[in-house]
Chains A and B, each alone.
Chain A
């Protein structure tokens, strides 16, 4: 049990509402539906104000009262409070006049939004007395668990599908984590981890610690609101793998309204998937919440979850908000990555390409209007998925280290462009 004798929170079944205190379980022991964290909002309202939050250091611990943290925890992880960028040039390209990028491509310490969820999960792993932390991962989570476990002094054992990008494998091993490659896709890895967690006393951040872990994603929503000057946007566009992030941003906005930190507003939630793995997008487009699983085939491997744990809740949140979901094929995803890089100087991984590609469609369809304040959630860094861009750019031939060679090159490559202008020094 948690060491916190009087927590502000406890686990509650999302379906039958049974309360389960605080323990490392992910589903209701009565009806077997997923659990989530419920809070004592009366107490939280007395204990924290938005002015107090605004005075705190720029990381996710600034929202500590709104997260399921034990009484004593290590707040040394630098995760969270990533930039919210006004994206004027991308806005021009998409025909938006009020577009923002929530840039978790630069979330610390491992350059994805998974640093947020892991930071929260490890506080509970410590509190429950786990020595080994683990996860099933499509890559970003593996990196985040490995790095933060190293710093916090846990042993880490990470389960990944065998075909993961090399940068994500290396970016896990470098921290001393043990990797177990599974000859199967993510859904098979995930199922295996559920079976292992049922038998071994390990702290699987996204299995038995999942209700706590997932709450870390709420900080994306808190930050968007705070960085907009404590107001909610009109729309958010969120990539979907397991579907948790979009539901947690939704929850975060509801909580901020409940606390009186922001004015109530109907925010539309838009989900983005790769066409090659689009179980939630397909459900939304059919106007239903029930998810039909798929076998993923996409370059967006960080989103390649064919049986999304929160797919049902994600579809429900999207449809209930008046939003929509879109999916994009691999070339559109790569175009999304390069468009974001060329317009805003943000190099995102394939999942970010999925988000930009979806946004492009949503503006074109008129589902998002130009004057509405819209935030695109960019959740990971492009340096981890450079293989997706293989062959995208021509190899650059070297030239001799001579001024004459450069002048020739300039004439040849930039003839007729501004860059070819002489005597401008």
Chain B
């Protein structure tokens, strides 16, 4: 099973310029662990010192805010995950 993450430009200086990353993570925690292991410089931007997902980091699975899917959401084959560093608008 494979999940693909789209990496926003602000994160790419921590990902050697990569704008996509694929891994076999089963859920959000697995995905963040995998990203942090592959790109150690990105790690502090994903979770805070307490290990919580950063307040201003928005995570979408396909078109849905992952908070609506639940923190235990299990990824499905082909899920596309989008990271938006800080939501704007309003």
Q: Which of B19-71 contact A (CB under 8 A)?
A: 45, 54-58, 60, 63, 65, 67-68
- Write out the residue numbers on chain A whose beta carbons fall within 8 Å of the beta carbon of B55: 33, 290, 312
Tell me the bound Cα distance from A204 to B56 in angstroms. Answer: 19
- Write out the residue numbers on chain B whose beta carbons fall within 8 Å of the beta carbon of A129: none
Tell me the bound Cα distance from A298 to B67 in angstroms. Answer: 21
CB <8 Å contact, B89 and A27: no
CB <8 Å contact, B85 and A191: no
Number of A-B contacts (CB under 8 A): 86
CB <8 Å contact, A193 and B89: yes
CB <8 Å contact, A308 and B84: no
- Write out the residue numbers on chain B whose beta carbons fall within 8 Å of the beta carbon of A244: 90
Tell me the bound Cα distance from A207 to B60 in angstroms. Answer: 18
Assuming the A-B contacts A32-B85, A191-B84, A198-B8, are A310 and B54 also in contact, with contact meaning beta carbons closer than 8 angstroms in the complex? no
In the complex, residue of chain B having the shortest beta-carbon distance to the beta carbon of A310: B90
Task: Find the residue from A26, A27, A186, A197 having the highest chain B CB count within 10 A.
Answer: A27
Across the interface, B82 reaches (CB within 8 A) one of A190, A195, A290, namely: A195
Across the interface, B45 reaches (CB within 8 A) one of A31, A188, A198, A312, namely: A31
Cβ of A28 to closest chain B Cβ, rounded Å: 8
Assuming the A-B contacts A187-B65, A190-B88, A242-B90, are A27 and B56 also in contact, with contact meaning beta carbons closer than 8 angstroms in the complex? yes
In the complex, residue of chain A having the shortest beta-carbon distance to the beta carbon of B83: A32
Tell me the bound Cα distance from A184 to B64 in angstroms. Answer: 11
CB <8 Å contact, A190 and B56: no
The reply on A136 being an interface residue by CB < 8 A is yes
| Count of chain A residues near B, Cβ 8 A | 41
Tell me the bound Cα distance from A78 to B55 in angstroms. Answer: 38
CB <8 Å contact, B89 and A190: yes
- Write out the residue numbers on chain B whose beta carbons fall within 8 Å of the beta carbon of A198: 8-10
- Write out the residue numbers on chain A whose beta carbons fall within 8 Å of the beta carbon of B9: 198-199
CB <8 Å contact, B87 and A190: yes
Across the interface, B87 reaches (CB within 8 A) one of A194, A241, A295, namely: A194
- Write out the residue numbers on chain A whose beta carbons fall within 8 Å of the beta carbon of B45: 31-32
The reply on A49 being an interface residue by CB < 8 A is no
Tell me the bound Cα distance from A27 to B56 in angstroms. Answer: 9
Cβ of A334 to closest chain B Cβ, rounded Å: 24
CB <8 Å contact, B63 and A33: no
CB <8 Å contact, B10 and A309: no
The reply on A249 being an interface residue by CB < 8 A is no
Cβ of A142 to closest chain B Cβ, rounded Å: 12
Assuming the A-B contacts A32-B10, A190-B88, A198-B9, are A307 and B54 also in contact, with contact meaning beta carbons closer than 8 angstroms in the complex? no
CB <8 Å contact, B68 and A295: yes
Q: Which of B71-89 contact A (CB under 8 A)?
A: 82, 84-89
Q: Which of A291-333 contact B (CB under 8 A)?
A: 292-293, 295, 305, 307-310, 312
Tell me the bound Cα distance from A310 to B87 in angstroms. Answer: 9
- Write out the residue numbers on chain A whose beta carbons fall within 8 Å of the beta carbon of B57: 32
The reply on A4 being an interface residue by CB < 8 A is no
Cβ of B23 to closest chain A Cβ, rounded Å: 21
**Interface 1/0s, chain A 348-379, versus B by CB < 8 A?**
00000000000000000000000000000000
CB <8 Å contact, A32 and B86: yes
Tell me the bound Cα distance from A295 to B63 in angstroms. Answer: 13
Cβ of A253 to closest chain B Cβ, rounded Å: 20
Task: Find the residue from B67, B68, B88 having the highest chain A CB count within 10 A.
Answer: B88
The reply on A210 being an interface residue by CB < 8 A is yes
Cβ of A197 to closest chain B Cβ, rounded Å: 8
Q: Which of A251-293 contact B (CB under 8 A)?
A: 290, 292-293
CB <8 Å contact, B89 and A293: no
CB <8 Å contact, A191 and B82: yes
Across the interface, A206 reaches (CB within 8 A) one of B58, B82, B90, namely: B90
CB <8 Å contact, A206 and B67: no
The reply on A243 being an interface residue by CB < 8 A is yes
29 example contacts (A-B, Cβ-Cβ < 8 A) are as follows A26-B86, A32-B10, A32-B45, A32-B56, A32-B57, A32-B85, A34-B56, A187-B65, A187-B89, A188-B63, A190-B88, A190-B89, A191-B82, A193-B88, A194-B87, A198-B8, A198-B10, A207-B89, A208-B88, A210-B88, A242-B89, A242-B90, A290-B55, A293-B68, A307-B65, A308-B90, A309-B88, A309-B90, A310-B90
Given contacts A187-B65, A207-B88, 10 further A-B pairs with CB under 8 A are A33-B56, A33-B86, A190-B90, A193-B88, A193-B89, A194-B84, A195-B84, A210-B88, A293-B65, A307-B58
- Residues of chain A touching chain B, judged by Cβ–Cβ distance below 8 Å, are 15, 26-29, 31-34, 136, 184, 186-188, 190-191, 193-195, 197-199, 204, 206-208, 210, 241-244, 290, 292-293, 295, 305, 307-310, 312
Closest 4 CB pairs of A and B: A242-B90, A27-B86, A190-B89, A32-B85
